[in-house]
Structure 1
Amino acid sequence: MLFQGVSSLSLDAKGRLSVPTRHRDVLTGQFEGRLTVTRHPEGCLMVFPRAEWEKYRDKVLALPESAKWWKRILVGNAMDVDMDGTGRVLIAPELREAAALTKEAKLIGMGNHFELWDKTTYDEKEAAALVQGMPDALKDFTF
């Protein structure tokens, strides 16, 4: 299981989004449509298949006491959701507000999870990263 690629999505008036078909089959087949959504430190949301979330959550909870606010932000804001019969997922109002999600969004596959971004925010951050150029960590990477 490896999620990759970008999908442009629209949230409906109730805050639901339709999971793209290319991911829906894996999420329903391997993970029974069970997901967990939480905040990301960079201003988006992370969407995990529940089994992957549980691994991530255990790592977060093992962090030292000095990271207790990040434990609160990441674990305290996590919400379990299930895809409905048509492949939609409800994003809670608190999480939509935290990520400034309105209608237009981008779902980015990041390996074992997804990032869910407000479209405008993502486009602005991507443009800034391109202007800034490659970080040193990528200087020896062959493209």
Structure 2
Amino acid sequence: MSEVGADDRVAEAARDAREAEARSSSCSSFLEDLDEDARHGGASSVDAVTWTEQSGLVDAATGVLERYRDVPGVSLEAAGYLDLHGNAWGALLSDNASWVDVVTVSAQVDDACSEVRVARMRAGGEDG
């Protein structure tokens, strides 16, 4: 496969994660909600959930990472701020077998509440 083809697949995966329709969830249930989507054999290789936390960005992101910490086999692949002002944060997590989660947390200007979105991308399609 050519490098252009690989770049196109990465761009397509990023677009799918960003644009996947997200259903409502919460920090306490998002992992179960994403697992449930997989068990029900959704038509898409990307499932997404979203919710609002009544806390600042750091607390919201910490809550999400604490939930992943309790899942055996999950690795934090990358994490960090996505903007210069500290209003957006993201992370990539993997179970090292079948999925990658793209997490984004964005804070309102006053940092009083945050919107969290998790998109789970699963291996699928012709390439596996």
TM-score (norm 2): 0.30
Q: Which has the higher contact order (CA 8 A, sep 6+)?
A: 1
Greater percentage in helix: 1
Greater percentage in strand: 2
Structure number with bigger Rg: 1
